[in-house]
Amino acid sequence: LHQHAVMQEKLSSLGLLAAGIAHEINNPMSYVTSNLKDLMADLPRLATAPELLEEYRRDILPATLDGLRRVNSIVADLRRFARGDPESLVEYDLNEEVRAAARIVQSRFTHDRELRLQFGELPHLLGRPRQIAQVLVNLMINAAEALGEQGNVTVRTALVGERIQITVRDTGVGMDEQTLKNLFQPFFTTKPVGEGMGLGLAVAHGIIRSHGGTISVESRPGVGTCFTLSLAQYPPPGLALGLPLPDEHPAHA
């Protein structure tokens, strides 16, 4: 009987999870679908309606593409969580990955919600750049979601001694003790169903750890949050890059 109850619970949390993922993907997909339908309907008159054409070029199509990128990033999270998608070790320029991540999240920022990038001069690192970019995207999305109508997110890279430090600082809502305690747990989220899967930071933590790095967070409710990543130029020898996600959870700085 006890086992049955546990099984039931597992199945229903799996159901909730599946619903969350479906919703998360469904939102951007219906947006993309409806934009493409509009475009097809508008096609015959585009040649004679320059303002409409400009609207597609400037707003609608870039936003549509961003919807697809969002789906991509969700799938990337899930994949990583399922421990697939091995990527080989290469030398890469971290600042380039910050730029790539910023392009993906750019549409979440406006004049009053600013994304600032500050690049330090860095040596090339050894690691898995696509995974690192995914970490940056996850942190920047969280930061963007923490902002209200106005505020800013600053991403800064620097060489500090022998280590490379990346900070993602936001002037958003901040976090309470309870959230700070749980934020790296898979499926922990304070967002409504369909808006958060609670995988972003669990995935980020797993990736950073598998690179021999650390991730820490400081936050104050109503003031903002700062995530700090610290990476070595070369991961310690013998460290199995691509380790499975950790089971235990880190202490917070």
Asked if 142 interacts with Mg ion (CB under 5 A), we say: yes
Asked if 188 interacts with ligand ADP (CB under 6 A), we say: yes
Both tokens assigned to 74: 């969700």
Compare residues 9 and 176 and give the one whose CB is closer to ligand ADP.
Answer: 176
Asked if 200 interacts with Mg ion (CB under 5 A), we say: yes
Place of tokens 């936050």: 219
Asked if 73 interacts with Mg ion (CB under 5 A), we say: no
Rounded to whole angstroms, what are the CA distances from 208 to 50, 111, 185, 245? 48, 31, 15, 10
Compare residues 98 and 197 and give the one whose CB is closer to Mg ion.
Answer: 197
Asked if 212 interacts with Mg ion (CB under 5 A), we say: no
CB of 56 to ligand ADP, least distance (A): 31
Residue 188 interacts with, from Mg ion, ligand ADP, none (CB under 5-8 Å by kind):
ligand ADP
- Pair type for strands 151-160 and 163-170: antiparallel
DSSP string, 123-186: --EEE-HHHHHHHHHHHHHHHHHH--SSEEEEEEEEEETTEEEEEEEE-S----HHHHHHTTST
CB of 174 to ligand ADP, least distance (A): 6
Q: How many other C-beta atoms can be found within 10 angstroms of the C-beta atom of residue 46? A: 12
Both tokens assigned to 15: 């159901």
Asked if 151 interacts with ligand ADP (CB under 6 A), we say: no
Interacting span for Mg ion (CB under 5 A) from 14-22, 51-59, 116-124, 139-147: 139-147
Compare residues 142 and 225 and give the one whose CB is closer to Mg ion.
Answer: 142
Both tokens assigned to 209: 């750890």
Both tokens assigned to 11: 């199945």
Asked if 191 interacts with ligand ADP (CB under 6 A), we say: yes
- Binding characters for Mg ion, 4-43, by CB under 5 A (x = yes): ----------------------------------------
Query: Which residue blocks in the chain are alpha helix, DSSP H?
Result: 2-46, 50-55, 61-81, 94-105, 129-146, 177-182, 200-210
Compare residues 144 and 164 and give the one whose CB is closer to Mg ion.
Answer: 144
Residue 146 interacts with, from ligand ADP, Mg ion, none (CB under 5-8 Å by kind):
ligand ADP
Interface contacts to ligand ADP, rule CB under 6 A? 138, 142-143, 146, 170, 172-175, 179, 183, 188-191, 196-202, 225
